[in-house]
Structure 1
């Protein structure tokens, strides 16, 4: 058994941004969700488990409600878990999970695609993201599109759809607010605005729109790029118009970014229709784990809820 480094729980205020972000940047399993500037938006007040010299980093999106401390996967943040430039074993992942402070009575967090577990298999379930290696477009990507995907792209082309790269943040937000999948509009739009502003500052943002023959926006997409990965964070079709514009838009991005050693992460999905849509571009499923543990006594939760509501 290899030596397990000492693991320390730290609050957001105790984290040194420069060391943390340097550790995430150099991690072999780095992703955009784990940088301090990203977590500060999607999970304000987050905490973490770290080792000496920030060699191993495990962000914890911590919250507190009704007097109960808990950890929950944030919106617009598909994967977290353990990061390092060093080798990560299932034993090490298990040890970090074991070191989550016991005061967090409920934990629901997605690990990243490079995190496996032995000890906590019964507390995990598999989830899927779809990824596409952006190789040579003409020889290695487009030929692997499904026929239905090719047909939709050609249909949009025949109807004189065009792509705009000058979509403004306000135009994107206005369109997405009406056409996107949003459950809590005020909360989610606020986060999206902050993410866009931050990604612009970090020079990692691409906003695209597809314009139809009537000069209307048919679809929009928000991409964030970090190192060798392009993340399809948000996208939406015009609800009033049945068209192939999103096929056309995604094909544009794939073609435009192919041959540069990048990978496109479609960010999902567990929904069969969306998974089918992404796989139509030749994207392959890639599994990651969700870890869930609930140690809240039912009676305790009821009492705290009553107290919160003044009952």
Structure 2
């Protein structure tokens, strides 16, 4: 059968989800049908044989142009199921139907395209295994992180999961969204609420919030998880805390709570300052690639690139 293309309505959900689960190395919460259905405007897929491997393709249409895009709140995709090498990956990309004139895919960290000639962006993520005792993990923190966690521990703060999704999102909208000029629109926040509700219903979500002694939320984070893989998906903090102590406190408490468990925490950000913050918790750096391929003529590509920047 080889590699073939399926529209969403043609996909066998049971076989798809079984394929995602078949390889613990690449299995991702974000590649299951339920999550894709909410996170993507539309999606279709490439499938190998009888769902031996699969590749989700989130897509949109603008000005008559179909294009594959990386949705918000969907960190990394690529090919799942049976492992493939770089040469096989190229065959998959070439198999993406010609109806898609622009392809922008963020591949997961187990797919290396460093030798490819196509336009690509190198990203970093940080992975923190929590299987060691807490004191052993903390000993490997950077000196700055040790100092800030120590200062935060002296505050009269508490960790709680008794807060609404809306409260945490409001904190983000009024702080980081303004400072970092985040391009989320109203529809994106609605989608995030939908995703969080879905994850909570699936019992695949932990909520963490830091509150002061007056009940004010200082920081919050959502941690989706599956089979021991936790993801730092979305967070908010009060920017009046310029030292970021509340977020130091939150992540340190998360690590302390999950120490000596067979889990790992995935921390990803393209912002250099935030990436350094994650790395300071003694997390291991991992690389992944964003692949961009244009099948447009020069004029169409110029206009389309401008549209995507303004999106």
**Which residue of 2 is the match for residue 83 of structure 1?**
80
**Which residue of 2 is the match for residue 188 of structure 1?**
188
Alignment: residue pair count: 299
Map 1:1-311 onto structure 2 (within 5 A): 6-27=2-23, 28-84=25-81, 86-117=82-113, 120-181=116-177, 182-242=182-242, 243-267=244-268, 269-300=269-300
Q: What is the deviation of 1:82? A: 0.7
CA RMSD, 1 decimal: 2.1
Q: What is the deviation of 1:24? A: 0.7
Give distance in 2, aligned partners of 1:290 and 1:170: 31
Give distance in 2, aligned partners of 1:245 and 1:12: 42
* Contact 1:172–1:207 under 8 Å retained in 2: no
Give CA deviations for 1:124-162 in whole Å, capped at 9, x if unaligned.
Answer: 232111111112233431100111112111212212111
* Contact 2:221–2:235 under 8 Å retained in 1: yes
Partner of 1:46, secondary structure, is strand
Give CA deviations for 1:24-79 in whole Å, capped at 9, x if unaligned.
Answer: 12223111111111111111320100012211100111111100011111111111
Give distance in 2, aligned partners of 1:292 and 1:107: 6
Q: Which runs of 5+ in 1 are unaligned?
A: 305-311
* Contact 1:57–1:83 under 8 Å retained in 2: yes
Give distance in 1, aligned partners of 2:114 and 2:161: 46
What is the TM-score when the length of structure 2 is the normalising length?
A: 0.90
Give CA deviations for 1:167-219 in whole Å, capped at 9, x if unaligned.
Answer: 22232233233234342330221111011111011110111110124431110
Give distance in 2, aligned partners of 1:234 and 1:208: 11
CA separation of 1:52 and 1:91: change in aligned 2, threshold 3 A? same
Q: What is the deviation of 1:294? A: 1.4
* Contact 2:169–2:236 under 8 Å retained in 1: no
**Which residue of 1 is the match for residue 308 of structure 2?**
none
Partner of 1:61, secondary structure, is strand
Give distance in 1, aligned partners of 2:31 and 2:159: 31
